[in-house]
Chains A and B, each alone.
Chain A
């Protein structure tokens, strides 16, 4: 007997995208990570509602979904700020001063990696090598890789970006 799929959590069209990803994979268990990627692409993070929906759709215990969501660094369980700044802390960037960039951001904006400013303007994260070692130290600001910047220049760029 065909198992009943759960209803979409709301009329928000983004749920249809998530559902389509799971349908394309035949609601199989191995679609879990793909489904979580699709939730994060659509909503920016994974909340309990989304994880419950995915768990019910794929007929998995919520604990398994939560376990996978927290295992991988890329999945966010909290909403992110309007802008994101990912500082690469790979070896080449480390050698070329990624630590100073993180300190500079902390001093100016008061946030450490993994945190978001109180006004929800900026989230700061670190990444284990974005593969832009030629541009070390590299930073991914709102999806764009920028490199070879000193701390002052970087802080300036973030301020510009945040003002827009």
Chain B
């Protein structure tokens, strides 16, 4: 099969819906489902069936503005979000009104302006199909150009060509580390050995981060396509997706996507009539944050406790079952297909010089527009929080934004003009992380926040190395003492010393970064600590 054959196939799928004029899309991602999207979808489908006509109701993935769910859009067939009418807080009772309005004026009481900065200021690459395609439909994905990059890679490119394209693009790992993806791929590709593995890290553990879940729930084929291209590039025939068991909907949609792709010959043996074989299996996590660390994740896939081991050897050399292994995160794989089809230069032209492309962020906490956004790298924090996020509700003042989860730090108001990319955030003592952004207003106590993250790290420490196992407990006890105003100046000095020791001597990323929330709050909000010190 070549790209032309696939285009004929896609044309055929599009023709099946040729008589559809209007499309009503209902967000069926986890957050909207929790707000009651299923009854809305059912009511709209029933209303549409009785009225008939040229209208189609479709369940789709995440539209982004989670706090206003359930979200529904009405537009022409295959319309972009910008050209659609967006409805918020929809209930099943609104179905008739929405259907009746398709040919006339929109239902004003439900309407959410689609020129809100929240929608208009985003740039979607990873999420381009989210909220547009039906995640359970193989045909829907192919109809919008899906699997084109994979077929192109298999039929027109050598593995080295693919790696060169990824290297040119400047794509860096979206899981938080920011390691250059092209370099990682070429390292694994060069390793000797018949058996290699591709792993997708979907163990999204940072509290307040839900980017990967949304991608898997909205466009699972996109991730599979990225993994298959990676497998072709490095010479692997087997892949694992390690996903949190706490994401049942994402798991279900992934399973469904794998089954359908296999049936259509886009996964499995002799993919698209080539010599390339690639099989994907899902492995469920079981609730251990440390499994997001790559060596711990592999130990978990092997059936053991998710405890990290020292590196080197790196997974590229000796990974899963001792074989060369490529591990990337969900969002990284979701960037692969567009890079292959549009070219590495195109991707490199987006974002900043050292951080190319876009980044998906999960906005949460005390912010007006809670939800999922995708912006070019280099967008300022102020733009993200005040313009796209709509600022702080209830007239309260902004205090800090926490990025990077338990490994990251807090950025105060006077640094909001910094562009968001891997390197700038590091200079502020925090990190990009996987993309969670928790906004805090003036009522949040920073000592409390530091204690919260330390409690998290203490609970999630796997217990293998002493600095992390014992250090997090001691730091938590000191923070607790400070928070209760029972600490002295020497306690604070001890806490700072411990931070340095744990950072320098822990075995894996969890321990090495556990002091970060404390160190960053001390850097910017030291007065809050000192206020609580007695004597």
Query: Bound pair: A and B?
Result: yes
Q: Among the listed B35, B69, B286, B289, which residue makes an inter-chain contact with A75, where contact means beta carbons less than 8 Å apart?
A: B286
Whether a CB of chain B sits under 8 angstroms from the CB of A135 is yes
Across the interface, do B288 and A72 meet the contact criterion of CB distance under 8 Å?
yes
Across the interface, do A132 and B210 meet the contact criterion of CB distance under 8 Å?
yes
Across the interface, do A32 and B436 meet the contact criterion of CB distance under 8 Å?
no
Whether a CB of chain B sits under 8 angstroms from the CB of A130 is yes
Closest approach, in angstroms, between the C-beta of A6 and any C-beta of chain B? 18
Closest approach, in angstroms, between the C-beta of B502 and any C-beta of chain A? 20
Across the interface, do A32 and B303 meet the contact criterion of CB distance under 8 Å?
yes
| Most B CB within 10 A of own CB, among A29, A33, A34, A75 | A33
Q: Which residues of A contact B364 (CB under 8 A)?
A: 91-92, 133-134, 136
Chain B 196-237 per-residue mask, 1 if CB under 8 angstroms from chain A, else 0: 000000001111111001000000000000000000000000
Whether a CB of chain B sits under 8 angstroms from the CB of A127 is yes
Q: Which residues of B contact A145 (CB under 8 A)?
A: 30, 33-34
**Those of B284-299 within 8 Å (CB) of chain A:** 284-289
Across the interface, do B303 and A133 meet the contact criterion of CB distance under 8 Å?
no
Q: Which residues of A contact B283 (CB under 8 A)?
A: 33-34
Q: Which residues of A contact B87 (CB under 8 A)?
A: none
Chain A 62-85 per-residue mask, 1 if CB under 8 angstroms from chain B, else 0: 001001100111110000000000
Count B interface residues, CB 8 Å: 52
Whether a CB of chain B sits under 8 angstroms from the CB of A42 is no
Q: Among the listed B66, B205, B206, which residue makes an inter-chain contact with A134, where contact means beta carbons less than 8 Å apart?
A: B66
The answer to whether residues A33 and B365 also contact, given A71-B306, A134-B66 and a CB cut-off of 8 A, is no
Q: Among the listed A34, A36, A133, which residue makes an inter-chain contact with B210, where contact means beta carbons less than 8 Å apart?
A: A133
Closest approach, in angstroms, between the C-beta of A22 and any C-beta of chain B? 11
Whether a CB of chain A sits under 8 angstroms from the CB of B426 is no
Whether a CB of chain A sits under 8 angstroms from the CB of B506 is no
**Closest residue of B by beta carbon distance from A72:** B286
Across the interface, do A132 and B288 meet the contact criterion of CB distance under 8 Å?
no
Count A interface residues, CB 8 Å: 39
Across the interface, do B67 and A95 meet the contact criterion of CB distance under 8 Å?
no
Q: Which residues of B contact A135 (CB under 8 A)?
A: 31, 34-35, 66-67
| Most B CB within 10 A of own CB, among A75, A92, A94, A130 | A92
Whether a CB of chain A sits under 8 angstroms from the CB of B366 is yes
| Most B CB within 10 A of own CB, among A32, A67, A130 | A130
Closest approach, in angstroms, between the C-beta of A136 and any C-beta of chain B? 6
Across the interface, do A31 and B303 meet the contact criterion of CB distance under 8 Å?
yes
Whether a CB of chain B sits under 8 angstroms from the CB of A4 is no
Q: Among the listed A37, A94, A133, which residue makes an inter-chain contact with B362, where contact means beta carbons less than 8 Å apart?
A: A133
Q: Among the listed A96, A128, A133, A146, which residue makes an inter-chain contact with B289, where contact means beta carbons less than 8 Å apart?
A: A128
Closest approach, in angstroms, between the C-beta of B451 and any C-beta of chain A? 10
Q: Which residues of A contact B440 (CB under 8 A)?
A: 95
Docked complex Cα distance between A114 and B86 (Å): 42
Docked complex Cα distance between A138 and B34 (Å): 10
Docked complex Cα distance between A144 and B36 (Å): 11
**Closest residue of A by beta carbon distance from B362:** A133
Whether a CB of chain B sits under 8 angstroms from the CB of A61 is no
Across the interface, do B305 and A67 meet the contact criterion of CB distance under 8 Å?
yes
Across the interface, do A92 and B34 meet the contact criterion of CB distance under 8 Å?
no
Q: Which residues of B contact A92 (CB under 8 A)?
A: 207-208, 364-365, 370, 438
| Most B CB within 10 A of own CB, among A36, A75, A91 | A91
The answer to whether residues A73 and B66 also contact, given A133-B208, A147-B34 and a CB cut-off of 8 A, is no
| Most B CB within 10 A of own CB, among A29, A31, A131, A147 | A131
Closest approach, in angstroms, between the C-beta of B29 and any C-beta of chain A? 10
Whether a CB of chain B sits under 8 angstroms from the CB of A8 is no
Closest approach, in angstroms, between the C-beta of A42 and any C-beta of chain B? 15
**Closest residue of A by beta carbon distance from B366:** A95
Across the interface, do A33 and B284 meet the contact criterion of CB distance under 8 Å?
yes
Across the interface, do A128 and B286 meet the contact criterion of CB distance under 8 Å?
no
Docked complex Cα distance between A131 and B405 (Å): 13
Whether a CB of chain A sits under 8 angstroms from the CB of B444 is yes
Across the interface, do A33 and B303 meet the contact criterion of CB distance under 8 Å?
yes
Whether a CB of chain A sits under 8 angstroms from the CB of B422 is no
Whether a CB of chain A sits under 8 angstroms from the CB of B301 is yes
Whether a CB of chain A sits under 8 angstroms from the CB of B304 is yes
Across the interface, do B301 and A131 meet the contact criterion of CB distance under 8 Å?
no
**Closest residue of A by beta carbon distance from B205:** A128
Across the interface, do B306 and A72 meet the contact criterion of CB distance under 8 Å?
yes
Q: Which 10 A-B pairs have the closest CB atoms?
A: A134-B66, A90-B207, A72-B286, A133-B364, A73-B287, A92-B364, A74-B287, A32-B303, A129-B207, A131-B210
Given pairs A91-B364, A133-B210, 20 additional interface contacts (CB within 8 A): A32-B304, A33-B286, A68-B303, A68-B305, A72-B306, A74-B246, A74-B285, A90-B208, A91-B207, A91-B208, A91-B453, A92-B207, A94-B207, A128-B459, A129-B210, A129-B246, A131-B30, A138-B34, A144-B34, A146-B34
Name 26 A/B residue pairs within 8 A (Cβ), A-sorted.
Answer: A30-B302, A30-B303, A34-B303, A71-B288, A71-B305, A71-B306, A72-B286, A73-B288, A74-B245, A74-B246, A74-B286, A89-B207, A90-B208, A91-B207, A91-B365, A128-B459, A129-B206, A131-B204, A132-B31, A132-B210, A133-B364, A134-B364, A135-B31, A135-B67, A138-B34, A147-B35
Q: Give me the interface of A with B, judged by CB distance under 8 Å.
A: 28-34, 36-37, 64, 67-68, 71-75, 89-92, 94-96, 127-136, 138, 144-147
